[in-house]
Each structure stands twice: as C-alpha cells, then as structure tokens.
C-alpha cells in the first residue's frame, strides 16, 4: 500500500484518485473547489479543501509523508507551475504533473516535476493506433514505437501454429499469449494451432504490426 497525494479534483484527478483507491492505496485528494471535493468524500481515503498554490497549505499537508504527489491542474497553467514548484520546495519525494503541451511539460520539469504525463495525448495516440491495426481490440503502449496488441486471429493463421508461421523471423513480431474467457494463457506451446475466434496478444514495433495486419 502506498500513500498518494492527488491535487486537483477535475475529471482526470477524480478518476485517478478513485482508481488509486481501488488498487488499495491511501489517497488524499485536495482541491480549492468545495463541491468537487464533496463529491469524492465517500470515494477516497481522505479529502481536503485547500489552495495548493499557497506554500503554507503544502507545508500543512506534509508532502514528505507521501510516496507520490500528482498535480492534476494542467488546464490552469500558472497554478500547475506554482503547485509543482511548491511541492519541490517542500521536499516531495516524487512529483508527477499533468501537462497539456510540450512547452508546459518542459517548464514543469524545470520547476521540479520528476515525471510529466499527457493523458489526453496518450489516449488519442492509443485510439489512433488501435484503429490503424486491422482486427485490434486493444493496445498497450510500452514505448513510443513498441506496443502489445490484442488481435483477432487473422484468417490466414487459422489451422496453423507459431512454428509454421515463423512470425518472429518473417515479420519481427512475437505472439506472447492467448486471451480467453478464463484469462490470458502464455504462448509457450508453439505447436498449438490457431482457431477462428482466438484472440492473441502480439508484441512488436508498431510499424511491423501494422504491416503484418494489413497483409492479412
């Protein structure tokens, strides 16, 4: 269990706080909007009303006691910068700030952010990528150019197995598992024939996977 501070009870901050709570973290959510905080009183471990652009509020919270601090106020550029700086000055261990542009991210890092995230940009990229790969149900970005996809088995694979298809050699991709109603099964049996309706988890460079699925 980790202790997490979430600053900002907007759409992203509230969903983040609720999700962190779901994964058994202790969460303190703080915002200067009374109504936004009240809506989450029964959702997260603790809530507080306060303006974190005020360094005294940050000191009162005791940010050194938290494993990570999230700044989710990207729509207010000035507030985001001030809060990130206040956390840094107060000795926060790990500061993750939300940004809406590359310039904003650059400035956040300069004032103390350890990590910068772009939720809207990342989701847009993931959605575009998913719909660019034929038969994709979902994708998981591991690096800018590398991802794991959940795919419907291409018709040309049906009745064949990994040994016959030689996907790693011919297409530079790896089938790492099969997704079933019971969960994910690792692809350790290379003699298992693919059947129609299978879902596979395939890892590789995005360009190689797009090329493979467009061929099939």
Looking at residue 196, its pLDDT comes to 85
d(CA 99, CA 122): 11
Question: Which has the closest alpha carbon to 155: 197, 124, 119?
Answer: 197
Three-state SS across 20-67? HHHCCCEEEEEECCHHHHHCCCCCCCEEEECCCCCHHHHHHHCHHHCC
d(CA 10, CA 39): 11
Q: Which one is predicted more confidently, 59 or 182?
A: 59
Looking at residue 134, its pLDDT comes to 83
Looking at residue 14, its pLDDT comes to 92
Mean pLDDT computed over every residue of the chain: 90
pLDDT tens string 31-70: 998 888 888 888 888 999 999 999 999 999 999 999 999 9
d(CA 17, CA 94): 16
Average pLDDT over residues 67-96: 94
Arch. (CATH architecture) of 122-215? 2-Layer Sandwich (3.30)
**Residue percentage of the chain with pLDDT more than 90:** 58
Rounded to the nearest 5 degrees, what angle is found at the Cα of 40, between the Cα atoms of 38 and 44? 135
Residues pairing with 98 in the sheet: 117
Domain boundaries along the sequence of the chain? 3-117, 122-215
**Token pair for residue 119?**
């939720």
Quick check: 181 pLDDT over 80?
Answer: no
pLDDT tens string 139-154: 888 888 899 999 988 8
Quick check: 127 pLDDT over 90?
Answer: no
> Which is the CATH superfamily of the domain at 3-117?
NAD(P)-binding Rossmann-like Domain (3.40.50.720)
């Amino acid at each position: 269990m980790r202790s997490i501070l979430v600053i900002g009870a907007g759409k992203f901050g509230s969903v983040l706080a609720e999700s962190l709570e779901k994964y058994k973290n202790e969460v303190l959510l703080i915002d200067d909007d009374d109504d936004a905080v009240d809506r989450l009183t029964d959702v997260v471990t603790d809530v507080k009303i306060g303006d974190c652009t005020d360094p005294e509020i940050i000191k009162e919270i005791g940010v050194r006691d938290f494993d990570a601090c999230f700044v989710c106020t990207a729509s207010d550029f000035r507030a985001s910068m001030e809060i990130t700086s206040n956390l840094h000055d107060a000795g926060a261990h790990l500061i993750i700030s939300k940004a809406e542009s590359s310039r904003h991210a650059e400035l956040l890092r300069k004032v103390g952010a350890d990590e910068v995230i772009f939720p809207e940009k990342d989701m847009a990229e993931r959605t575009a990528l998913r719909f660019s790969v034929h038969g994709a149900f979902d994708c998981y970005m591991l690096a800018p150019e590398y991802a794991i996809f959940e795919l419907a088995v291409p018709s040309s694979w049906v009745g064949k197995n990994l040994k016959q298809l030689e996907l790693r050699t011919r297409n530079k991709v790896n089938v790492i598992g099969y997704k079933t109603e019971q969960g994910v099964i690792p692809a350790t049996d290379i003699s298992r024939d693919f059947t129609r309706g299978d879902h596979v988890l395939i890892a590789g460079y995005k360009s190689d996977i797009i090329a493979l699925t467009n061929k099939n």
